Amino acid sequence: MSQVAIAGAGIVGMSLAWRLSQAGFTVTVYDKGTVGGEASWAGAGMLAPGGEYEDDSPAARLAIESRSLYPAFVRELEKATRSTIDLQETGALDLAYSDAELQALAKRADMQRRIGIEAKRLDAKQIRTFWPRLRTEELAGGYFYSGDAVVNPREVVSALRKATLANGVQLREGSAVLEARVEHDLVIIRTEAGESSQAAFVVAAGAWSGSISLQGVPPLPKSEPIRGHLLGYQQPEQICQSIVRYGDTYILQRANGLLVAGASVEHAGFDRSLDLKTVDRLQKQAAFVMPHLGETTPTEAWNGFRPGSEGLQIGQWHSPRIYRAYGHYRNGILLAPVTAKLLTEEISASLEMR
């Protein structure tokens, strides 16, 4: 029996469903809402080990590997679905507005070089020439990370929907997995519609993962929502040629002209309401970096729930029938290809399908 059920149709669950279906499994994906309707819709889409990792760690190594998988992952998806996905090899510029900030960036870049993340120092004059829209008063310099990139996560998920359906994956939207029970050589999945037997079950339910009840194995490690707000400014032309970062502010622009600025990091439970104070703060921060944004109001603002946990939860959970794929926090868009690859290998090996 080679049936695998996945709870969660975000970018992580859908990437895995695609890879498992390619490996010959019969896959059903359950989602309590819609495909890609949560964090994977909300995410900015930075593929940015340079902005996220300083020290050697398993997560940093996975991020670097996943970044290297991305171009082929996107090309393969585009080919399979005859669609276009906005993936831009833009690089990212980290800005410093004082000598102390520049020194801190230099120290960080030195640490990152040891784990294979390269950055080039730029002086204020170079930045003014190549990024004419940025604030230049008191600009001390910056570091350019040529390996960082931008993808539109909504386009990735939409292509994954097409690619998985074409491979015979069953997508059950509006169907939450309530419980999974390990019994002998099977796992029984319970939804409101009834029960089904599977060879393996993967929890890829983002911020909600820890609330899925398991019988026959210990409870899953906790997960929690880390809310993030983003702003969107629809622009008539391309004005931001790379990711730009300053402190905890970042700005990037999608190929469709939407300039995305963010982001907040909030412990607010699953509250979806827009926090206007946070929106106002993000607006001011974006306008500091790119002054002309101060003269325009964002065309949209939204939030989403990053899946927090005690570290990345990837792999088997106390049984060859149960697997975890959550806890990707700020980097789930980046980490989706490597997560799908690792779990497909692990599930294939354990169910002897290779």
Ligand X SMILES: Cc1cc2nc3c(=O)[nH]c(=O)nc-3n(C[C@H](O)[C@H](O)[C@H](O)COP(=O)(O)OP(=O)(O)OC[C@H]3O[C@@H](n4cnc5c(N)ncnc54)[C@H](O)[C@@H]3O)c2cc1C
Q: Please identify, using beta-carbon distances, which residue of 141 and 326 lies nearer to ligand X.
A: 326
- 16 within 8 A of 339, measured Cβ to Cβ: yes
CA distances from 129 to 42, 99, 126, 136 (A): 32, 20, 5, 10
| Interface stretch with ligand X, choices 40-48, 102-110, 112-120, 311-319 (CB under 6 A) | 40-48
Q: Phi/psi zone of residue 256: left (φ > 0), alpha (ψ -120 to 50 degrees), beta?
A: alpha
Binds ligand X (CB under 6 A): choice among 9, 119, 159, 187: 9
In the complex, the smallest distance separating the C-beta of residue 124 from ligand X, rounded to whole angstroms, is 27
Residue 12 touching ligand X (CB under 6 A): yes
Q: Is 195 exposed, middle or buried (0-12, 13-18, 19+ CB in 10 A)?
A: exposed
Binds ligand X (CB under 6 A): choice among 4, 19, 32, 242: 32
Residue 262 touching ligand X (CB under 6 A): yes
Beta-ladder partners of 229: 303
Binds ligand X (CB under 6 A): choice among 5, 38, 142, 202: 38
> What 3-state class would DSSP assign to 224?
strand
8-state DSSP, 175: -
Binds ligand X (CB under 6 A): choice among 96, 177, 200, 338: 177
Least Cα distance to 180 among 340, 26, 28, 17 occurs for 28
And the tokens for 3?
Answer: 């049936």
Please name the residues in contact with 182: beta carbons below 8 A apart, sequence gap of 6 or more: 214, 215, 216, 217, 319, 321, 322
CB-CB neighbours of 128 under 10 Å: 13
Q: Please identify, using beta-carbon distances, which residue of 141 and 225 lies nearer to ligand X.
A: 225
And the tokens for 53?
Answer: 């990792």
And the tokens for 294?
Answer: 């101060």
Residue 333 touching ligand X (CB under 6 A): yes
| Interface stretch with ligand X, choices 135-143, 232-240, 286-294, 302-310 (CB under 6 A) | 302-310
Q: Of 42-81, which residues contact ligand X (CB under 6 A)?
A: 42-46
| Interface stretch with ligand X, choices 1-9, 115-123, 158-166, 179-187 (CB under 6 A) | 1-9
Least Cα distance to 261 among 279, 273, 276 occurs for 279
Binds ligand X (CB under 6 A): choice among 16, 180, 205, 231: 205
325: amino acid identity, one letter: A
Binds ligand X (CB under 6 A): choice among 49, 91, 206, 210: 206
- 195 within 8 A of 28, measured Cβ to Cβ: no
In the complex, the smallest distance separating the C-beta of residue 34 from ligand X, rounded to whole angstroms, is 7
| Interface stretch with ligand X, choices 37-45, 67-75, 141-149, 182-190 (CB under 6 A) | 37-45
Residue 201 touching ligand X (CB under 6 A): no
Query: What number of H helices and E strands is found in the chain?
Result: 9, 21
Residue 180 touching ligand X (CB under 6 A): no
CB-CB neighbours of 310 under 10 Å: 10
Binds ligand X (CB under 6 A): choice among 40, 88, 112, 309: 40
Residue 37 touching ligand X (CB under 6 A): yes
Residue 343 touching ligand X (CB under 6 A): no
Q: Please identify, using beta-carbon distances, which residue of 32 and 321 lies nearer to ligand X.
A: 32
Q: Enumerate binding residues for ligand X (CB under 6 A).
A: 7-13, 30-33, 37-40, 42-46, 176-177, 204-208, 212, 228, 230, 262-263, 304, 306-307, 326, 328-334
